[in-house]
């Protein structure tokens, strides 16, 4: 017997008319006079030159969410993610389709949504609880935890209109997470606030999910989606592009059509080619682990750099990469003059060479690649900063935690060993690999 879903969305559509005023047809006297003067000309020939444009923010979306499931929602700006949460939160009505929610809903969609600016932090906590349908006694039971988590004790009796955006977000998230809704909707909470607060939010969301409540989490932070979510929806232009495992969908999302076009760079007459270089490399492409062109890779994931080359006189092709930070600081390089490359030919006049970089320990950020091409003795063609790419955060060590930022561009693993005091040997034994 299958479990009854806590959220059911069927054929959901949401249409917006662009160029029309929202919330009524109020206008100034000047606007009314100008419209009256223009009206005869608009009607000339029986046709109006003013046409409404229609935008379908959601176009036939259908899915179900089970109780206790943590569902991530990804997609580019304008894909319909925030509109979906607004419909689920009953902030906006759908144009067509059906939404069924079988539980109390708490939401954090935009900074301060649902807060009254003239009321104090204390009053807004009780107001939000009442909106959720909670009794005063239930709110009082959680009150001290909400205030402590939000870190706003000294501003508790200050009107929230005087709060900074960070204070607003802390209180809004704390209220939404602690007032025990069965369904929690969160939209880009990690885009505001300092690193310590973002870490607290992730921990609280793990706690909420572990307590059996259902979470819908919209974010561009792929590491947070991977760490928190059991399942993921990928929206594109208001439609469901895919529904599945977060890791699989994030990899596909990072290698969409737009990224494929930007992943390939023409090296002909490239401004980064060093003086005296022969123009041997003509095109370069960054490849994901499955061979798809991409502009982004995940931490700890293998990726490739591919170049097309040609030369009138054949040579033994040697291809090198030099990794640099955005400030130009060198990090490391790889080159088949010193790295074994059994599949490379002894001589070739043209072809395609791909260098696969195995699980580089790069922290999230943007990096540049210098490309070197030559023979077994020297570089004949060097193009500085030929490619740039982004590294997306990921739980590379499988601990449920991310490498802390601020420690530099490299995140390196280690092997740890413990021996109790009084061990027979005064020195720790060092594991030795048995492979030869």
Chain segment 260-295, per-residue pLDDT in tens:
546 888 898 787 898 889 999 999 999 998 898 888
**Cα–Cα distance for residue pair 80/61, rounded to 1 Å:** 10
> What pLDDT is stored for residue 223 in this prediction?
66
**Cα–Cα distance for residue pair 309/349, rounded to 1 Å:** 8
Burial label for 16, CB within 10 Å (0-12, 13-18, 19+), is middle
- pLDDT exceeds 60 at position 86: yes
> What pLDDT is stored for residue 24 in this prediction?
46
C-alpha dihedral (308, 311, 313, 316), degrees to nearest 10: -30
pTM of the predicted model, to two decimals?
Answer: 0.57
> What pLDDT is stored for residue 272 in this prediction?
83
Give the confidence band of 357 by pLDDT, cuts at 50, 70, 90.
very high
Calculate the alpha carbon distances from 276 to 319, 323, 382 in Å.
18, 22, 9
> What pLDDT is stored for residue 25 in this prediction?
47
**Cα–Cα distance for residue pair 265/143, rounded to 1 Å:** 56
Domains of the chain: 7-21+50-253 (3.40.50.300), 260-392 (2.70.50.60)
Mean pLDDT is lowest, of 37-41, 118-122, 141-145, 155-159, for 37-41
The stretch 342-352 carries a mean pLDDT of 90
The stretch 36-65 carries a mean pLDDT of 70
Give the confidence band of 433 by pLDDT, cuts at 50, 70, 90.
very low
- pLDDT exceeds 70 at position 318: yes
> What pLDDT is stored for residue 29 in this prediction?
54
Using a pLDDT cut of 90, give the percent of the chain over it.
Answer: 27
Closest alpha carbon to 86 in 187, 16, 7: 187
Cα torsion angle, 228, 232, 61, 169, sign: positive
**Chain position carrying tokens 């509109």:** 83
The stretch 29-42 carries a mean pLDDT of 59
**Cα–Cα distance for residue pair 319/307, rounded to 1 Å:** 9
- pLDDT exceeds 90 at position 189: no
> What pLDDT is stored for residue 255 in this prediction?
62
The stretch 27-49 carries a mean pLDDT of 56
- pLDDT exceeds 50 at position 308: yes
Average pLDDT, the chain: 81
- pLDDT exceeds 80 at position 53: no
Q: Which residue has the higher pLDDT, 180 or 300?
A: 300
Q: Which residues pair with 319 in a beta bridge?
A: 373
- pLDDT exceeds 60 at position 1: no
Give the confidence band of 180 by pLDDT, cuts at 50, 70, 90.
confident
Using a pLDDT cut of 70, give the percent of the chain over it.
Answer: 80
> Are 18 and 53 spatial neighbours (Cβ–Cβ below 8 Å)?
yes
Mean pLDDT is lowest, of 129-138, 223-232, 383-392, 418-427, for 418-427
> What pLDDT is stored for residue 171 in this prediction?
84
- pLDDT exceeds 50 at position 97: yes
Q: Which residue has the higher pLDDT, 11 or 192?
A: 11
C-alpha 158, offset from chain centre: 34
Give the confidence band of 34 by pLDDT, cuts at 50, 70, 90.
low
Q: Tell me the range of 14-23, 137-146, 324-333, 349-358 where mean pLDDT is highest.
A: 349-358
> Treating both helix axes as pointing N-terminal to C-terminal, what angle do 136-150 and 165-178 enclose, rounded to 10 degrees?
140
> Are 381 and 280 spatial neighbours (Cβ–Cβ below 8 Å)?
yes
Q: Which two tokens stand for residue 291?
A: 């061979």
Q: Residue by residue, what is the 3-state secondary structure of the chain?
A: CCCCCCEEEEEEEEEEEECCCCCCCCCCHHHHHHHHHHHHHHCHHHCCCCCCEEEEEEEEEEEEECCCCEEEEECCCCCCHHHHHHHHCCCCCCCEEEEEECCCEEEECCCCCCCCCCCEHHHHHHHHHHHCCCCHHHHHHHHHHHHHHHCCHHHCCCEHHHCCHHHHHHHHHHHHHHCCCCEEEEECHHHCCCHHHHHHHHHHHHHHHHCCCEEEEECCCHHHHHHHCCEEEEEECCEEEEEECHHHHHHHHCCCHHHHHHHEEECCCCCCECCCCCCCEEEEEEECCCCCECCEEECCCCEEEEEEEEEEEEECCEEEEEEEECCCCEEEEEECCCCCCCCCCCCEEEEEEEEEECCCCECCEEEEEEEEEECCCCEEEEEEEEEEEEEECCCCCCCCCCCCCCCCCECCCCCCCCCCCCCCCCCCCCCCCCCC
**Cα–Cα distance for residue pair 99/34, rounded to 1 Å:** 43
Q: Which two tokens stand for residue 176?
A: 């939404």
């Amino acid at each position: 017997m299958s479990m009854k879903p806590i959220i059911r969305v069927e054929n959901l559509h949401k249409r917006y008319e662009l160029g029309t005023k929202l919330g009524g047809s109020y206008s100034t006297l000047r606007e009314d006079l100008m419209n009256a003067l223009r009206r005869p000309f608009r009607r000339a020939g029986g046709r109006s030159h003013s046409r409404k444009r229609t935008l379908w923010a959601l176009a036939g979306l259908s899915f179900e969410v089970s109780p206790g499931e943590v569902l991530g929602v990804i997609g580019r700006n304008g894909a319909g993610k925030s509109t979906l949460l607004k419909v689920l939160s009953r902030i906006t009505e759908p144009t067509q389709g059906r939404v069924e929610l079988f539980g109390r809903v708490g939401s954090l969609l935009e900074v301060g949504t649902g807060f009254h600016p003239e009321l104090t932090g204390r009053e807004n906590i009780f107001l939000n609880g009442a909106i959720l349908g909670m009794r005063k006694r239930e709110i009082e039971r959680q009150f001290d935890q909400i205030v402590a988590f939000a870190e706003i004790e000294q501003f508790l009796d200050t009107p929230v209109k005087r709060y900074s955006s960070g204070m607003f977000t802390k209180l809004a998230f704390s209220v939404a997470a602690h007032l025990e809704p069965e369904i929690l909707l969160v939209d880009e909470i990690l885009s505001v606030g300092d690193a310590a607060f973002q870490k607290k939010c992730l921990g609280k969301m793990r706690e909420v999910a572990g307590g059996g409540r259902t979470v819908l989490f919209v974010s561009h932070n792929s590491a947070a989606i991977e760490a928190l979510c059991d399942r993921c929806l990928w929206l594109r232009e208001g439609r469901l592009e895919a529904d599945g495992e977060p890791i699989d969908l994030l990899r596909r999302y990072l290698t969409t059509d737009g990224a494929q076009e930007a992943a390939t760079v023409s090296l002909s007459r490239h401004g980064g080619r060093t003086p005296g270089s022969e123009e041997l490399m003509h095109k370069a492409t960054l490849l994901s682990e499955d061979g798809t062109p991409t502009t982004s890779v995940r931490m700890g994931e293998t990726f490739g750099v591919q170049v097309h080359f040609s030369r009138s006189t054949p040579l033994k092709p040697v291809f090198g990469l030099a990794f640099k930070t955005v400030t130009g600081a060198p990090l490391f390089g790889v080159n088949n003059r010193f790295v074994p490359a059994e599949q490379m030919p002894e001589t070739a006049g043209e072809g395609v060479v791909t260098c696969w970089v195995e699980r580089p320990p790069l922290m999230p950020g943007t990096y540049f690649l210098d490309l070197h091409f030559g023979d077994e003795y020297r570089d004949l063609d060097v193009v500085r900063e030929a490619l740039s790419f982004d590294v997306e955060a990921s739980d590379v060590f499988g601990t449920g935690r991310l490498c802390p930022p601020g420690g530099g561009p490299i995140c390196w693993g280690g092997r740890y060993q413990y021996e109790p005091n009084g061990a027979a040997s005064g020195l720790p034994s060092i594991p030795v690999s048995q492979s030869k």
